[in-house]
């Protein structure tokens, strides 16, 4: 009986203590009423933590946390607060070379998603694709992290390695071990193909891209090209002013480049201003990695100059951001408006459809295989199936069911013999590297989207 009373007394005491604690909190909240000032509650919370928290608090962390919370409440993946290091990283990405894997990322429904790998970057060479969701970086979950926090974990010194686990639609989880490198400043690459066609690839829109494009066009015109192909594939975008200036090069004066819709619904129309423009027959190639400024240019050239788009539907980013810095060099990047195509279409989360659809060969979408992994007879996993498909694409007949059987062993040995590698029937190290290298070379030789763009352009040249 005494024991029961003791238990009852403990329960009553606990309830009473809880009530006292709750009452005290209530009194502090009431005392911190806003009095018509929406920031009074914020200041009151700051005072409560400074005075009453059981540990010493870092004032700077409290303020930074409050700013981040304010920005994140907007639920806009393109509006972010960047601390000093993150702001530095962001500015490097726009204006200079940097060290990392070379991939544009954004937040999407709470996840970190690849917008596009940069041409020639370690990310592109490894097989990272647009819309890949980054689950882990070096075994650390990306759940709950901001884009800038994720980028700081992915970037690193040239020569160091980073392991990514990504989720790819229709494939599942994939592991990538990528060696970081210097991502170059150059964003425009030009060459003459098919004898009289100038091909220009634009990889992103940075501070120097407009000047690079003008130089490339001048060089190609000096070589007397008769038509142009503008390759905007895997271009994650960048600076809007560069997209405007570059689009202006191809449009007659007075034609719409884009429209900007402000928060009050008013619209500003940006028009071509140059008296002269490139009037060579032109075709533009786009894909799922063409985003933002890349989409501005693609839409402008198509809708205001009648230039055909070839390839696949674009990414779909139709908002404009600006960044403002604080005295300590941290900054906030925020969305200021929508951008619309010349005819007033908002392509956000919809993308731009090409007039002529063209896909790359199926082997272009095969996942990267880590050369440090050993694939051998008896194994059954996704990497085995990818390796089998690569071998099949290279002309080495074997099973493609994902089980490393005797036919696969023989195909590997034949490949190793032909490439003067150690002949053991296993896929690892130099064998893996050589397989993936030859697949990349085959893709360059069999770029079906470029081939389609050439055929469309030749029809215009007739």
Residues identified as active-site: 292, 317, 321
State the Cα–Cα distance between residues 231 and 213, nearest whole angstrom. Answer: 12
**Phi and psi of 334, rounded to 5°?**
-140, 155
**Closest of 312, 153, 374 to residue 145, by C-alpha:** 153
> Given the DSSP bridges, would you call strands 227-231 and 282-286 parallel, antiparallel or unpaired?
parallel
What does the alpha-carbon distance between residue 141 and residue 300 come to, in Å, rounded to a whole number?
40
CA distances from 181 to 54, 95, 154, 184 (A): 45, 17, 12, 9
Task: Give just the sign of the alpha carbon dihedral 224, 257, 80, 137.
Answer: negative
360 token code pair = 């790359």
Tell me how far apart the alpha carbons of residues 153 and 141 are, in angstroms, rounded to a whole number.
11
Does residue 104 contact residue 115 with C-beta atoms inside 8 Å?
Answer: yes
Cβ neighbours for 251, distance < 8 A, ≥ 6 positions apart = 257, 272, 277, 300, 301, 304, 305
Burial of 86 (C-beta count, 10 Å sphere; 0-12/13-18/19+): buried
Place of tokens 């060696």: 179
Distance CA 353, CA 286 (A): 9
Q: Is the distance from CB of 196 to CB of 232 less than 8 angstroms?
A: no
Give the whole-angstrom CA distance, residue 216 versus residue 219.
5
User: Measured between alpha carbons, how far is 213 from 249 in angstroms, rounded to an integer?
Assistant: 9
> Which tokens belong to 186?
């150059």
């Amino acid at each position: 009986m005494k024991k029961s009373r003791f238990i009852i007394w403990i329960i009553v005491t606990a309830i009473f203590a809880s009530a006292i604690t709750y009452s005290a909190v209530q009194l502090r909240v009431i005392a911190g009423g806003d009095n018509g000032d929406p920031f009074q509650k914020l200041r009151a919370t700051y005072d409560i933590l400074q005075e009453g928290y059981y540990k010493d608090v870092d004032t700077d962390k409290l303020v930074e946390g409050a700013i981040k919370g304010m920005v994140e409440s907007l639920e806009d993946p393109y509006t972010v607060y960047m601390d000093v290091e993150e702001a530095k990283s962001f500015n490097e990405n726009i204006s200079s070379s940097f060290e990392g894997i070379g991939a544009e990322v954004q937040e999407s429904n709470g996840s970190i998603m690849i917008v596009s790998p940069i041409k020639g970057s370690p990310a592109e060479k490894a097989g990272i694709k647009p819309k890949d969701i980054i689950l882990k970086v070096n075994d650390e979950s990306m759940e709950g992290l901001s884009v800038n926090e994720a980028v700081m974990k992915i970037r690193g010194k040239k020569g160091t390695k980073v392991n990514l686990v990504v989720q790819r639609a229709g494939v599942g989880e994939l592991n990538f071990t990528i060696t970081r490198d210097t991502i170059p400043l150059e964003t425009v690459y030009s060459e003459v193909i098919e004898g009289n066609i100038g091909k220009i690839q634009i990889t992103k829109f940075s501070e120097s891209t407009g000047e690079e494009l003008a130089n490339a066009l001048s060089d190609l015109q000096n070589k007397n090209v008769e038509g142009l192909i503008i390759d905007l594939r895997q271009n994650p975008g960048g600076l809007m002013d560069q997209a405007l200036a570059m689009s202006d090069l191809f449009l007659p004066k007075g034609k719409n480049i884009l429209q900007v819709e402000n928060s009050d619904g008013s619209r500003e129309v940006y028009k071509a201003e140059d008296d002269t423009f490139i009037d060579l027959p032109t075709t533009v190639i786009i894909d799922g990695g063409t985003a933002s400024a890349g989409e501005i240019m693609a839409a402008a050239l198509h809708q205001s100059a009648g230039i055909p788009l070839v390839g696949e539907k674009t990414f779909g980013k139709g908002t404009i951001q600006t960044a403002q810095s604080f005295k300590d060099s941290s900054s906030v990047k925020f969305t200021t408006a929508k951008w619309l195509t010349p005819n007033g279409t908002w392509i956000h989360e919809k993308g731009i459809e090409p007039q002529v659809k063209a896909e790359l060969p199926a082997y272009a979408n095969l996942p990267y295989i880590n050369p440090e992994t050993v694939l051998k007879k008896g194994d059954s996993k996704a990497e085995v199936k990818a390796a089998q498909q690569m071998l099949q694409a290279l002309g080495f007949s074997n099973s493609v069911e994902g089980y490393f059987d005797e036919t696969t062993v023989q195909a590997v040995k034949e490949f190793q013999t032909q490439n003067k590698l150690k002949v053991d029937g296993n896929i690892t190290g130099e064998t893996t590297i050589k397989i993936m290298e030859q697949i990349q070379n085959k893709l360059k030789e069999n770029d079906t989207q470029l081939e389609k763009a050439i055929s469309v352009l030749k029809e215009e040249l007739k």
